[in-house]
Every structure is written in C-alpha cells, then in structure tokens.
Amino acid sequence: MNLTDETGWPMTKRGISSTNYGLYFIGMPFQFGLTSGLVGGVGRDADYISRHILSH
C-alpha cells in the first residue's frame, strides 16, 4: 500500500488520499490553508472531506 511520498507525508489532495480510495486525513499542516493543522482551522477541512464522502 503506497500511502506516503518520498518525504513521508500522505499523498492527498485536501485530505483525500490520491492513492487509496476511501482513505482520508485531517489535521495535517497546510492541508488546505495555513490553519489546517490547528484546532481552529481543522473544521473547514473536516467539512470539505465530509461533503466529499457524502457525495460519493
């Protein structure tokens, strides 16, 4: 299972795995914005991922 790039970070687009269908990540630094890795910013990313899950 190829999950990470050469630096060890998950290969994702806005927290959605680009290599493994149905795998999601949240809270990574700069996942979408400057605050993605912080408690105050993770909500926006969680909303995006949950909408993606519901639409698929």
Residue 44 within any structural domain of the chain: yes
Could you tell me which residue, 1 or 22, shows the higher pLDDT? 22
Range of the domain at 46: 12-55
Q: What is the tens place of the pLDDT at every residue in 7-40?
A: 999 999 999 999 999 999 999 999 999 999 999 8
7 falls within a domain: no
Q: What is the pLDDT of residue 54?
A: 97
Residue 2 has what pLDDT? 86
pLDDT at 6: 94
User: Cα–Cα distance between 53 and 56 in angstroms, integer?
Assistant: 5
Identify whether 3 is part of a domain.
no
Indicate whether 2 belongs to any domain.
no
Q: What is the pTM of this model?
A: 0.83
Q: How many domains does the chain have?
A: 1
pLDDT for 1 equals 72
